[in-house]
Structures are given as structure tokens and as C-alpha cells.
Structure 1
């Protein structure tokens, strides 16, 4: 398994697809690991060079010894890109991964050829809500909030139609280390890129799941309006994780966006 030390954190990463093809790197949401992209990867692998990683405190990656913010998460990703020799890439970020992607697009625009932001926003939630979640997780573990989070992640239809998969994704969430989850919540609590994203220059596609309760489509669209020239799309029948519920639709949008001419 490939591991590297980046920005003083050991990260797990995975490569897929066709080496030398157009590049895409994927940044995950809170409480998830690289597995959420498996079906999207299968749909894109023939035509793209794909890179996935577990952000700090998640999956097989190390947790930070002290609190870190979105900028540190983005610097982790820069170290990974340098390690695999990618000077530039399309970047697809989901939820907190979208904030990581936005921060990188603002601070290192030469590294980002195109930007895909999925079910994310320049500012997500309120300090009070994040602090309550942090306290709950540190006191009782991620499993204590599992039911509430899953209800916000997935559409009602998915829970009924895919009960085994729903159970599996819940286990992924609840196995997230409490310290890694809580520290990422702190990064989300403290992040506000509302003004900064008006300076993003990369062509940008913004995607929202129709039934997302974590970052509702109206919030996602508000972020899209602040990014010059951004294209906004809604995926019907998907919640907060369209890459799981509607991977074919996600892959089609990403593929189509990669082929769009730049102005």
C-alpha cells in the first residue's frame, strides 16, 4: 500500500486509471475514505489518470498531533501532488474536500487546471453546531452521531433500496477516529472562503445532490455564484454523496466538464 509523509503527516493514497492520461485528484468528505470514489473511478479509469487519498485523521492516514485548518489540509495535498510528480491537475473536492480544493485553487492557481466542487460551500455550518458535534464525538465517539449523519448524507430512497450498502457506509463513518473527525470539524468550523473564492481563475463545475441535507443545493449554488464563470448542476435523486448514490452521473459530469473548451 502506498504511504507518504506530507506536511508532517503520513497519508495513504491510491492510483487508478491510465498513466499519462488527463489527471484528476479527488479530495474526500468528512468521515469518509477513498472507497467513496470506487464506482466513479471505474467509470473514468479508461480515459483518466486518477489519484485518491485519505485526508489526515481519516481512513489509513495519520491524525494531526495538534489542531490544523483547511490550509494545512491543502498543504498535505500539495505534498502528495509533488510526490507523484503532478505539477498540475483537475481537482475534485467533496464537502470539506471542496473547501480544501477551493483553498488550493486560491493560493496555488497554477496547480489547478480545472476545479470540480461537489456538495460543498465557501462556509459550511455555524460555530455552535460544529462545537456541539466536536464535543459529542470526543465524549462518545463518532458512532454516537452516526444515525443523524447518515440521515443527512443519503436520500430516503437509497436507504430503502440499498440497505446493505447503507449499513456498510455507516460502518465506514463510525470507524473514523474520533480525534481525526473532531479536528476536521474544527477546520470546517473555522473556514470561511466566501471572499477568497471570487478570485478563483480555474474553470469550475459546481455540483449539488438534490436531496443533500448537509450542504443544501441553495447553499452550494450560492458558492457557485461567487466563482467567476462557474457552472452549476444538480444531480437528481442524490444526497450529500452523489459519488455513491449516482456515480454514473458524477462521472458523466466530470468527463463532460473535462472536454469543455476554456475561454
Structure 2
């Protein structure tokens, strides 16, 4: 489980699968860490060299001075790729990870082969929403955010049916450094990729959660309509679709990349 140094900052990275296989990069959501992919990695690692990392301010990666920007988060993964000697890779990012993926596809398209953008949006206003979450974290820490986040991520029926999974998600959220959460909230607040994504020429798959209240189906459809080579798959899920529909998510990505 190596620590990769990028411009003086440390990033926690985990590698799975054959060293000579095609690379699949995984990028996680706000308030999560690379463990959010635990259900999919055993499947994907049979076919790919799976590289997952904790976003800046999350998990065991650097917690730097805030606010962060999408440019900063994008350059983080370029630095990780360079440090690992990865010239090109497939991409799978969910929510914030999908936003970073869109940045990569517009600023470093030659580094990405096929890309999966799951439960994400090119713009997530208004700014007051994110300023409110930043202030809530300042006042009450991640404890004040954990239950609203769980309710936004998963529908009530799933929360009741999967208590052990919900406990795992709560632990992951509570482990997120407040400063890192706030920094990434600012990056999302200040992001607007609705125009830039029109220039994406890579092959892209949009995974949309049919019951996603955070990045809605309309958000996903806007991205799909803006990218010439975009395809769309809709899963019966809310926001963190790879946890709610682990097998369907894994097979959808594998079928697309294969």
C-alpha cells in the first residue's frame, strides 16, 4: 500500500491485479476513501491493474490548506500517474471522482482511454449549498454531516436492509478529515464544466442512478448529451450506486471496458 509523493504532498494509493494488465484508475466520492470500491476490485482485478487512491483531504492522503480546486484535484492524479509510470489508463470515478474524470478528459485527454463517469454532475449549484455544508462541518465536524449524508446516498429501504453496510459507510464518512471535506466542497462549489465537456472526444459511459437525489438523472443526461461518444446506463439506485448495486455496477463497467 504505497504512499506516492506528488509535488511534496503524500497520496495513499492501493494497487491490485496483474502488473502488466491495462490500468483502471478509480476515483472516489466526497466524504469517502478508496475502500468504497472494495466490492468491485476483486472482479476488476482479474482483468485490470486497478489503481485507487484517496482524494486530497480524504482517507490517508494529504490534508492541505483549503480551499481546493478541480484543477488541483486533477493535477493530483496526473502526478500519481507520472509517479507510477502510467501513460494512459481507463477511468472510473463516482460523484466527485466523476468530476475529476471530466477535468481529466478536457485537460489531459491523452492520458485517459475509456472513462466511466458515475452519479456525477458537471455543475452543482448553488454556492450557498456548499457554503452551508462547509459551515456545518466547521461547527459540528463530520458527526453533524454523517446522517444527512447517509440519507442522501442511500434510500430508506436499502438503509434498513443493509445495516452492516451502513455502519461501514458511517465509519468511512466520520473518518474523513473536516479540513479535507471542506476543501473538496469548495472545489465542487466553484466547478462549472458544462461548456468544457462539449470538447470531450474520448469514449465515455455515464452511469446514472434512477433515484439519485444528489446528482440527478437530469445531471447525468446533460453530460451525456454534451459528449459526442457518450453512452448511458441507468441503475436502480440512489447516489452511491456501486454500494447499493455492487454486482450490477461491476459488470456494467467491465462490459464497457472490455
Shift of residue 67, structure 1, vs aligned partner = 2.2
Secondary structure of 2:81 counterpart: helix
Shift of residue 191, structure 1, vs aligned partner = 0.4
Shift of residue 165, structure 1, vs aligned partner = 1.4
The within-5 A match list for 1:1-263 is 1-236=1-236, 238-259=237-258
Shift of residue 65, structure 1, vs aligned partner = 2.1
Shift of residue 211, structure 1, vs aligned partner = 2.0
Tell me, yes or no, if the aligned pair for 2:66 and 2:180 is still in contact at 8 Å. Answer: no
- Return the alpha-carbon distance in structure 1 between the equivalents of residues 16 and 191 of structure 2: 31
TM-score (norm: length of structure 2):
0.97
Shift of residue 143, structure 1, vs aligned partner = 1.2
Shift of residue 162, structure 1, vs aligned partner = 0.6
Shift of residue 181, structure 1, vs aligned partner = 0.2
> 1:81-112 deviations in whole A, cap 9, x for unaligned?
11111100011111111111111110111101
- Return the alpha-carbon distance in structure 2 between the equivalents of residues 145 and 38 of structure 1: 23
> 1:32-57 deviations in whole A, cap 9, x for unaligned?
00111011111111111100000110
Tell me, yes or no, if the aligned pair for 1:30 and 1:95 is still in contact at 8 Å. Answer: yes
- Return the alpha-carbon distance in structure 2 between the equivalents of residues 35 and 58 of structure 1: 11
Shift of residue 66, structure 1, vs aligned partner = 3.9
Tell me, yes or no, if the aligned pair for 1:9 and 1:76 is still in contact at 8 Å. Answer: no
Secondary structure of 1:39 counterpart: coil
Secondary structure of 2:233 counterpart: strand
Secondary structure of 1:186 counterpart: helix
Secondary structure of 2:129 counterpart: helix
Shift of residue 7, structure 1, vs aligned partner = 3.4
Runs of 5+ consecutive residues of structure 1 not aligned to the other structure: none
What is the aligned residue count? 258
- Return the alpha-carbon distance in structure 2 between the equivalents of residues 161 and 61 of structure 1: 32
Shift of residue 23, structure 1, vs aligned partner = 1.4
| Aligned residues: CA RMSD | 1.1
- Return the alpha-carbon distance in structure 2 between the equivalents of residues 7 and 74 of structure 1: 13
